[in-house]
Amino acid sequence: MFKSLPCLPEDPTFKLFNQFKADANPKKVNLGIGLYFDREGMPKVFDTVKKAVSELDVNNFNYLPIGGDREFLRLAGEFVFGEVFDPGRLAMQATCGGTQACRCFADLSLEVLHEREIQIAEPTWVNYHALFGAMKISRFNHCGEDGMVNAEAYYNAARNAPIGSAFLIQGGLAHNPTGVNLSLEQMEELIRILEERRMILFMDMAYLGFGEGIEQDRKYVQLCYEKLERFAVAISFSKNASMYEQRCGALFVKTVNGPCTESQLQKSIRETISTPPGFGQEVMANILKNYRQEWEAEVEAAREDIDWRRNQLVDRLPAEFMRVRETRGMFGLLPLSREQALRLREEFSIYILDNGRVNFAGVKACDLDYIAEGVRSVK
C-alpha cells in the first residue's frame, strides 16, 4: 500500500520558508512568505489583538453555526463595505481564512454559473489554480512589458470571456505578487464591461488596509458592490490583524436571495470543514465592536511602516529598480531573473520567491544595506 505513491512537490512559498528556517547563516534574510514582521524582524501581534485575546470567553468552545457567528459577520461586513453595508442584500459566510472563501466561491460558481469559467490575471497567488481547479481557468497578463498594470488586458479578457462567467480580482489595491493595481478609474471601466456581459466579479481582498489605506481600499469594494449586480468578496484577517494561523476569513456574496445563497455556501463549508473555526471570529468581533478605532490605527501604522521599508530599500538600489517604489501592499516584484533570485539565496542567504517577489513586511531596518548589496551584486 502506498509504495508507488508519488511524492508531490512542496508548495513553493512554504518550501522557501522551510529552507530559510534551515539556513544556518546568521545573516539570513526572509523576504519570501507573506508574513508581517516588524522592523526588528519580530512577528507582529497587534495590541488590540492581544487585548481581545485576553478577553476571550474560555468557558464555551462549542460549535458555531455552519454559517459562522452572525455578530462577527455583521461587524466584518460593516468594516468591509462601510456605509453601503446592507445585510439584506448579502449572503454572508465565515470561512477558514481567505483561502476557504475562495473555495466556497468556486463551489457556488459550479452550482450557479452556466459558464464554469474564471478569468485570472497572471502572475498571481499560486493557490488559485487548485482552488478553482474544477472550473475552466483562462489566463491573461496582469502587467505590461513596463511592469505596470495592463488595464487593456483586463478589459480584453472581460470582453472575450463567456457571458455569465466569473472574473477574479486579486488583492484589491495590494496585488500579490506584483504590488501594482488597477486604479479606481480603471476598475470603473472594467465594471462596465463585466456588467454588460453579466459576469460575476470575485474580489479576493486579502489585504484590506495595506494597499492605499483602509478608506481607499474600501472604496474599491464599495464601487464594485454598488455598480455590479453580480459581485462577491473574500476577506481575511490574516494580514491586517496579523492572525495568520487563526484562519479568520469571510465571504460576502451580493444576492437578492440571501437565505438560499447562504444555504449553498453552508453546504460547501459542511462538506469541507463542517463548521468554521471560532477563535479568530470571536477575537475580531470583539475588536470590531470595542476597539475598532484603535485597531484601524494599528493597521494604518503597519501600512506606513511597510511603505517606509519599501522606500528605504529602493533608495539603496540602482535606477532600474525605481518602479518598485510604485508598488503597494506587502509585495512587489524586483526585476530579477530566476537565476539571480537563486544566487541571492545561495550567495547571501536572502530569500525571495523565484519570480523576484519580495515581502516588504519582512525587511528588517538593520538588513537594508545588506539586501541592497546582495541585489546589486547579483544583477
Q: Which is nearer to ligand LMR, 16 or 194 (CB)?
A: 16
Is residue 13 a contact point for ligand LMR (CB under 6 A)?
yes
Half-sphere exposure of 103 (CA within 13 A, CB side): 19
Rounded least distance, CB 34 to ligand LMR, Å: 3
> Under rule CB under 6 A, which residues in 319-358 are in contact with ligand LMR?
none
- Which residues, including other chains, have CB under 8 Å from residue 111's CB and lie 6 or more apart? 264
Is residue 33 a contact point for ligand LMR (CB under 6 A)?
yes
- CB-neighbour burial class of residue 343 (10 A; exposed 0-12, middle 13-18, buried 19+): middle
Q: Which is nearer to ligand LMR, 34 or 68 (CB)?
A: 34
Q: Which is nearer to ligand LMR, 44 or 70 (CB)?
A: 44
Q: Which is nearer to ligand LMR, 92 or 233 (CB)?
A: 233
Sole binder of ligand LMR in the list 72, 105, 125, 132 (CB under 6 A): 125
Is residue 178 a contact point for ligand LMR (CB under 6 A)?
no
Rounded least distance, CB 240 to ligand LMR, Å: 13
Is residue 128 a contact point for ligand LMR (CB under 6 A)?
no
Contact indicator for 110, 135 with CB cutoff of 8 Å = yes
Q: Which is nearer to ligand LMR, 238 or 266 (CB)?
A: 238
Is residue 284 a contact point for ligand LMR (CB under 6 A)?
no
Is residue 179 a contact point for ligand LMR (CB under 6 A)?
no
**Is the torsion defined by CA of 74, 199, 143, 34 positive or negative?**
positive
The cell numbers describing 353, all together, are: 520567491
Contact indicator for 128, 102 with CB cutoff of 8 Å = yes
- CB-neighbour burial class of residue 116 (10 A; exposed 0-12, middle 13-18, buried 19+): middle
Q: What is the DSSP letter of 149?
A: B
Rounded least distance, CB 119 to ligand LMR, Å: 20
Rounded least distance, CB 239 to ligand LMR, Å: 8
Q: Which is nearer to ligand LMR, 20 or 225 (CB)?
A: 20
Contact indicator for 331, 357 with CB cutoff of 8 Å = yes
- Which residues, including other chains, have CB under 8 Å from residue 62's CB and lie 6 or more apart? none
Q: Which residue is nearest to ligand LMR (CB)?
A: 34
Sole binder of ligand LMR in the list 48, 109, 176, 242 (CB under 6 A): 176
Q: Which is nearer to ligand LMR, 127 or 290 (CB)?
A: 127
What are the two backbone dihedrals, phi and then psi, of residue 326, each rounded to the nearest 5 degrees? -80, -10
Distance between first and last Cα of the chain: 49
Rounded least distance, CB 110 to ligand LMR, Å: 23
Cβ atoms within 10 Å, residue 276: 28
Is residue 34 a contact point for ligand LMR (CB under 6 A)?
yes
Is residue 19 a contact point for ligand LMR (CB under 6 A)?
no
Cross-strand bridge partners of residue 248:
96
Q: Which is nearer to ligand LMR, 32 or 374 (CB)?
A: 32
Which residues bind to ligand LMR, rule: CB under 6 A? 13, 33-34, 125, 176
